[in-house]
Amino acid sequence: MLSRQLTGLAARCFSTSAAAASTNPNELKYWPMPLPPSAGASKKMNMFQALNSALDIAMKSDDSAVVMGEDVAFGGVFRCTLDLQDRYGKERVFNTPLCEQGIVGFGIGMAAMGATAIAEIQFADYIFPAFDQIVNEAAKYRYRSGNEFNCGSLTIRAPCGAVGHGALYHSQSPEAFFSHCPGIKVVVPSGPVQAKGLLLSCIRDRNPCIFLEPKILYRQAKEEVPEEDFMLPLGKARIAREGTDITLIGYGTQVHVLRTVAELAQEQLGVSCEVIDMQTILPFDEDTVVESVKKTGAAIVSHEAPVTSGFGAELSATIQERCFLHLEAPVERVCGFDTPFPHVFEPFYLPNKHRCLEAVKKIMDFRK
């Protein structure tokens, strides 16, 4: 059944032009983010280097900061913790057993005792054994103690999303599971500048944070990044591209897909699309989303996670509640499907530029 569904989808997605059918549907173009104001000296970095820089600064400026996880001592499978143990010693950067529940539980304990705990889950797909620790302990610790105790100095990093060959257990995007849980913050950067600035903000925030890193961007994304310490605000979206006709909303890797869609919509359809990069999933920036949709009158929400109960559903509901009288077409969601993440069918599962452009056309047809 899944095979037939995705094969049919492929035919629909790529019937728009011969050129589209002959190219890689998931070929990703990276759109750099401008340097923050007063950034000072900068250096070209990819995303894993920017994360490494953030961790280095956090550990240098805070003697209590500790990095832990599977294989972090030699740099981790994606090299984000490279050389940190050499700089700060085995007591502050150390490998853990292959036990996600233990990694997060240990991090909660360290944070509750006043340390800054930075825990790495090697792949976001394996964060689920730690689900109870995160949603029943870390998120509720301050509340259950009447603010006498907290583990707010806990940050959990995890690589997420598709890379082209990860399939069932190495391509998932679990952000929606945690967006339902008061007491934690959930952050997803879309490039090196954000990765560094948002990670430093998470580490220093007084609430437990889950920091999801789109792993396809670790080496693909490269841009000028401030060398010194800087932070970007949590809970604030950014306008990645201004437009007037349709608001495109995404986060992580999908921001770059939507930027490409906005260019294609302008070139092929004469449609001006505004692109919003959410940056923070919980708490999310309702006002930026609402103001944009009131201006454009239409919205497309896109993410790699399955469509049912994905974070796009929350965004769509908020838009319907706060922008109803401004909407000129139904809110469109272009997301992953309600199946396990496939391997051979990954090109058709992902919300690529062709599927998103079809949603733009659908909205414009509805307005006629």
**CATH, residue 254:** 3.40.50.920
50 and 10 share a domain? Answer: no
Question: Which one is catalytic: 70, 120, 137, 170?
Answer: 170
Question: Which one is catalytic: 100, 137, 175, 223?
Answer: 100
Q: Respond yes or no: is residue 170 known to be catalytic.
A: yes
Average pLDDT along the chain, 368 residues, taken 10 residues at a time: 42 37 66 82 95 98 98 95 97 97 97 97 97 97 94 98 88 96 97 97 98 95 92 97 98 97 97 98 98 98 97 98 97 97 90 97 94
Q: State the DSSP string of 185-231.
A: EEE---SHHHHHHHHHHHHHSSS-EEEEEETTHHHH-EEEEESS---
| Residues 6 or more apart in contact with residue 11 via CB below 8 angstroms | none
Q: Which residue has the tokens 């104001």?
A: 37
Domain extent, residue 154, equals 42-226
142 and 192 share a domain? Answer: yes
22 and 88 share a domain? Answer: no
Q: How many domains does the chain have?
A: 2
Domain boundary among 182, 202, 226: 226
What are the E-state strand segments in 252-319? 273-277, 280-282, 299-306
Q: State the DSSP string of 25-94.
A: TT-----PPPPPTT--SEEEEEHHHHHHHHHHHHHHH-TTEEEEETTGGGT-TT-TTTTHHHHH-TTTEE
In a domain, 37, yes or no: no
Tokens representing 135? 């949603």
202 and 327 share a domain? Answer: no
313 and 341 share a domain? Answer: yes
Domain boundary among 226, 260, 288: 226
221 and 98 share a domain? Answer: yes
Q: Respond yes or no: is residue 263 known to be catalytic.
A: no
Compute the distance between CA of residue 238 and CA of residue 31 in angstroms, rounded to an integer. Answer: 14
219 and 245 share a domain? Answer: no
218 and 259 share a domain? Answer: no
CATH of the domain at 120: 3.40.50.970
